[in-house]
Structure 1
Amino acid sequence: MKDCLLCSIPIRQLTWGGLVGRSGDCICDDCRSGFERIDSQPSRSYFQETIYEKSLDTIHCIYSYNDSMKSFFHHYKFLEDAALAEVFRNEFLKLRPAVPIPIAPNFDHLKRSFAPVEALLPAANVLSILEKNTQVKQSTRKRGERVTSTNPFSIRSHVEVPEEVWLVDDIYTTGTTLHQAAYVLKEAGVKKVHGFCLAETLLKK
């Protein structure tokens, strides 16, 4: 018996005496039930008639950014509990090649010990071909500032790009990050870019 990664309560596993719980899960049913699955295809209207309009061929978000998801990200990203990447890793198993949104290097105010988006992905699926060239976080910007911000991404030197990729981020708000990264990938020769996010939220005006 192992403990839930979120609440630390022991998880009951499958036994010979009867089917109890789910074998191999890393969180308990109570914690799992707090996540609201939405399987959405969020609006991309912010980018109509801009250079980013056709950057993403598809976009899919799995969960709502509700209170349970906010708590998850607080512990995962800001308290740096890297073990929590296991909670949702199965959601990303079929994404190959998966291009994670990178973090900017040398954050003076946020020196993370791991890359949160890349850690969600099975290592065999990861194709790290993007670089981020700014230390400004999108979460510090309002909606209008995000949509009109300078593109911070570039392709790493001396890398080959495939014809089709899954571009992965953790949270979808306006979609600016994904559209900017997808634009760079298309400019580098990628034919199709599919956006994929763990959670979707709405940014107030």
Structure 2
Amino acid sequence: MRCLYCNGVMLEEIGWTDLFFKRVEDPFCDVCRAELIRLEGPGCTVCSRGMETEGICSDCNSWAEDPVFQDALISNHSIYAYNPALKELIKRLKYNGDYALAGCFRKELTDLLKPFKKEAILTPVPVSADRLKERGFNQTEALLECAGIKYEHLLLRRNGEAAQAKKLKRDRHRGENPFAAIRALDGEPVVLIDDLYTTGTTIRRAAQVLKESGAGEIRSITIGR
């Protein structure tokens, strides 16, 4: 095997258990794996932001005071801190079209989404038609497909707009909601999946629309925070 990040050769040790149980191989070598920082320890119980003590961060307190968004999102769970290593991985997947990288997080996503498969609708945050045409794929759908996770893609659509990554924080909270519901829901819980949680605006806007369309509790899971 070769590491999907640095392309270096990785030696594998095979034990007797591998003859009887399907093994999930790590796509990264030990050096590259060490550069990805898991979000563990004290943090915001709502958005996974790292903090000195567990609680609710100032951003989530502000969201809770906004009558439009206060009941939209129950919680967000992010897997990794957004550091240079993760930034490069996401860049190569989204902007360089390196589709193979979508399989890098299959074990993490499978483990996190397993409890929700029977009781909730799993759905990726959609991209606009212009962005889909430009990239050729929705990177979040790619993450789920490479992990073999079934999802519902007919809950939301997204209108064309400037990329959130190019906006200042204050500008992300302004303007019209770019999402629209495709069908009505009847109290079903929903788990939104996306690649990154930055300010929380995108996730909460999507959650707001789903809530208005009849969804039950809404949570989200992202690769980076």
TM range (shorter): 0.7 to 0.9
| Runs of 4+ more than 3 Å apart | 159-162
Checking the alignment, whether the CA contact within 8 Å between 1:105 and 1:135 is kept in structure 2 is: no
Corresponding position of 1:62 = 79
Does residue 77 of structure 1 match 2:77? no
Higher alpha-carbon deviation: 35-44 or 129-138: 35-44
Q: Which amino acid aligns with 1:117?
A: T
Deviations 1:58-112 (A, max 9, x none): 111111000111111121111110110111122211423321111100249x701
For residue 183 of structure 1, report the CA deviation from its aligned partner: 0.4
Higher alpha-carbon deviation: 36-45 or 84-93: 36-45
SS of corresponding position for 1:10 = coil
**Percent identical:** 30
Give 5+ residue unaligned stretches, structure 2: 50-56
Q: Which amino acid aligns with 2:92?
A: H
Q: Which structure shows the bigger proportion of residues in strand conformation?
A: 1
Over aligned residues, Cα RMSD in angstroms?
A: 2.3
For residue 196 of structure 1, report the CA deviation from its aligned partner: 1.2
Corresponding position of 1:33 = 34
Q: Which structure shows the bigger proportion of residues in helix conformation?
A: 2
Give 5+ residue unaligned stretches, structure 1: 201-205
With normalisation by structure 2, the TM-score equals 0.78
Q: In the alignment, which of 150, 159, 176 is matched to residue 125 of structure 1?
A: 150
Q: In the alignment, which of 135, 139, 144 is matched to residue 165 of structure 2?
A: 139
SS of corresponding position for 1:32 = helix
With normalisation by structure 1, the TM-score equals 0.85
Counterpart CA distance in 1 for 2:62 and 2:202 is 12
Change (3 A) 1:143 1:23: closer
Counterpart CA distance in 2 for 1:81 and 1:161 is 38
Q: In the alignment, which of 66, 76, 80 is matched to residue 49 of structure 1?
A: 66
Change (3 A) 1:197 1:31: same
Checking the alignment, whether the CA contact within 8 Å between 2:125 and 2:194 is kept in structure 1 is: yes
Q: Which amino acid aligns with 2:32?
A: C
For residue 198 of structure 1, report the CA deviation from its aligned partner: 0.9
